[in-house]
Chains A and B, each alone.
Chain A
Amino acid sequence: MATILVHIALIAYAASAAAFLTWLVKPHTWLARAGRILMAAGVLVHFAAFGVSLGVAGAGLGVSAWKGGQLFSLLAAVTVAGYLVLDFRYELPVAGAFVAPFTVAVMVPAHLVHSDSRAIAPEISNSLVLFVHVGAAALGTAVLALAFGLAVLYLASEKQVKNKRPGRLLARLPSLELLDRAGYRLAVWGFVFLSLTIATGSLVSREATGSTFPLEPKQAFAILAWALFASLIQARLVAGWRGRRVAFLVVAGFVLLVGTYVGLLSAAPVLHGTAA
């Protein structure tokens, strides 16, 4: 049942991507509206799929077993939900043209990896801290993925203004000021979730392995990303940094965060601890 729902969500995301991408070429209002509606429908079905699969799992907080692709699927769903909130606030259909294909790109491999099931160490499988850790990681990554998207859009359109060649992209986008402001706000929220993820992650690690900060690539990338976002916020608050250099920092921070997930995938086939 859950798999069928995920497939329906995936179809809705793909249709939404098609609507948004067509909107980039032909800016009919109804196309953007269709893209939004399909995306909202997709995310509802997607979360319903999570609900069904948690109900079926029925154990503790529902994170007793994670398939390799499930975390990425959750990330995609939270990113889409985050985008819809952002779009409601700032009206950014052009960002939808990036978020929707990105979601499809994340979802397809996530659901092809059915057999890559990873066990959770039994001593933490019912832990509230683990639940908060996974939730904060998903939220933080989704928010920072959106900040990354806005930063890329900012850099592309700022280049057009700087080179005095205002083109279609600039016409479809809101002002540079808004992209900068919204991107920074998202980076701040991402930083908050990232901090929470790292703090709860160290607790989870201590419960499972006895070590608070095991020096694995996953932790190293997460700490580096956290330090970079901290410097970014500091530079904005103290020196007033904004625009291009902040956008570059957000891009770099997100790339480091992606490194965390690469570290996660390349880690031992047991999450957060030793095999049962």
Chain B
Amino acid sequence: MTFVCVGLSHKEAAIAVRERVAVAAEQAPGRLRELAALSGIREAMLLSTCNRMEIFAVADSHGSGDDLLRSLGPVAQPHAVCRFGDDALRHLFRVAASLDSMVVGEAQILGQVKEAATLAQQAGTFGPELSRALARATVAARRVRTETEIARGAVSVSSVAVQLAHKLLGSLEGHSVLLLGAGEMAQLAARELRSAGARELLVANRTPQAAEDLAREVGGVPVSLAELSTLLERADVAICSTAAAQALVTREMMAKALKARRYRPIFLVDLTLPRNVEPSANELENVYVYDMDDLERAAAQNRELRAGQVGRAEEIVDQELKAFLSRLRESTAVPVLARLRAHAESLARAEAERTLAALRGLDDRQQKSVRAMALAIVNKLLHAPTSRLRAEAGDGPLGEAAAALFGLEGEASLEPKASATEATAAGSDDEEGTVLPLLRRP
């Protein structure tokens, strides 16, 4: 049995390729069933996001990698990468921990991985091995998020603006956002603020028509730019991106508005040049003015901080992966031992019976001695391999070698497979249990 990962990401393929091979959620069950039907594939999960299309599978042998690769189709095939065993698992752990993401430390990927697991479970292609691996990858991802600062701080201008708005105002629910002008980045920031819970989005532009069009586009309310003073009394965040040649929001205007708004803090985001807000307005109490340079500086600082945390995050992934592999090998080594002993003992018993049948006239004591001798030979023969396999604790190649030497590989499939639920329950770690609800769904 081996883990396989086949697919492509933003590192291997441009967006033009990725968009052609992406699999929509509604197509996923069909694709998953096709994958599971391939020879030698025991379990499969399909992760398709904007930045990657990858299949994580458990297969009987490396040979299944070729079948999975072919299943990606002619567009993806030239770009796709095939990983096996420890490499495939490491990749899964790194993907879940957001170390393989385009923006390292982004928060969405872990949710997307879990969603992929749910889809696979619904399609009936998710099994105990993938479940165990994913549970441990989730633990690693959580540790990376809490023990490093890889996810701290926004790394784009618009998200820095949203994060600062949160730091100033707390929850944005009940707060009002004013959008001045139609700059693309301003629209993006306004949309993010709106989706973060802002109560209303006021849209002001040069002409009423332009304001109406933009308001419709971003889901806001059109207002007149002529009422700017009143709007500054009402809004808690103002995003400015007009093409005005001089400052629209002056210090004097803001000082007046401040009294009227009873010193409630206001966050002015100036995303244009020449600037729309007089920089000296920042000197007023409870008025915070951030221009493009300020936001970009904060974003760059966060990017640097994240980059500096990658080493520590990789260490955590290594630790968790090592622990997982050790447990995995341990759990595979013990059945090999048991099977080896059972196989040898059954051979010894069969040979002893055949010998006893040939040697008629032996009394009970003598028959017992023959049987004991056969088993003693087995024990003596297996003593050294048994202690070596135990000493290896599943952390070396002897388990697989023993299975291959004694022809026990085929017998593995005869053993009843642990259910996915059992597999997850086997992970005693609290956090590993987080995948449990996924698996218990009907």
Contact of B282 among A162, A175, A176, A242 (CB under 8 A): A162
Is B167 at the interface (CB under 8 A from chain A)? yes
Classify chain B: how many residues form its interface, as a range.
Answer: 20 to 34
A26–B147 CB distance below 8 A:
yes
Flag if A161 contacts B262 (CB, 8 Å). no
Main secondary structure of the interface of B (DSSP, over half): mixed
Contacting residue for A164 out of B264, B285, B286, B290, CB 8 A = B290
Inter-chain contacts of B265 with A (CB < 8 A) = 176-177, 242-243
Across the interface, name the chain A residue whose C-beta is closest to B261.
A240
Residues of A within 8 A of B164 (CB): 161, 166
A178 within 8 A of partner (CB): yes
B216 at the interface (CB under 8 A from A): no
Does A170 have its Cβ within 8 Å of any Cβ on chain B?
A: yes
Q: Which residue of the partner chain, among B168, B262, B294, contacts A177 with CB atoms under 8 Å? A: B168
Instruction: Report yes or no: A166 in contact with B169, Cβ–Cβ below 8 A.
Output: no
Q: Is the CB of B167 within 8 A of A170?
A: yes
B146 at the A interface (CB under 8 A)? yes
Is B166 part of the binding interface, using a Cβ–Cβ cutoff of 8 Å?
yes
Knowing A175-B170, A242-B286 touch, does A166 contact B147 (C-beta < 8 A)?
Answer: no
- With A171-B153, A176-B167, A176-B168 given, is the CB distance from A161 to B288 under 8 Å? yes
Q: How far, in whole Å, are A271 and B263 apart by their CA atoms in the complex? A: 45
Which residues of A are found within 8 Å of B285, using beta-carbon distances? 243-245
**Counting CB contacts under 8 A, is A109 at the interface?**
no
CB closest residue in chain A, given B236: A177
Residues 254-283 of chain B: 1 if any A CB is under 8 Å from the residue's CB, otherwise 0?
000000001111000000000000000010
- State whether the Cβ of B298 lies closer than 8 Å to any Cβ in chain A: yes
A29:B262 contact, CB within 8 angstroms: no
The number of residues on chain A lying at the interface, defined by a beta carbon within 8 Å of a beta carbon of chain B, is 22
A 170-189 binary contact with B (CB < 8 Å = 1; else 0): 11001111100000000000
> Do A240 and B152 have beta carbons less than 8 Å apart?
no
Nearest Cβ in chain A — how far from B163, in angstroms? 9
Q: Find the A residue at minimum CB distance from B143.
A: A28
| B263: A residues at CB distance < 8 A | 239-243
Smallest CB separation, A25 vs chain B (Å): 11
Q: Which residue of B lies closest to A157 (CB)?
A: B167
Binding site for A on B (CB under 8 A): 146-147, 149, 152-153, 164, 166-171, 262-265, 282, 285-286, 288, 290, 294, 297-298
Cβ contacts A to B, 6 pairs, < 8 Å: A170-B167, A177-B169, A240-B262, A243-B263, A243-B286, A244-B286
Q: What 10 new A-B contacts, CB under 8 Å, besides A28-B147, A177-B168, A177-B169?
A: A161-B164, A164-B297, A166-B298, A170-B167, A171-B152, A171-B153, A176-B168, A240-B262, A242-B265, A244-B285
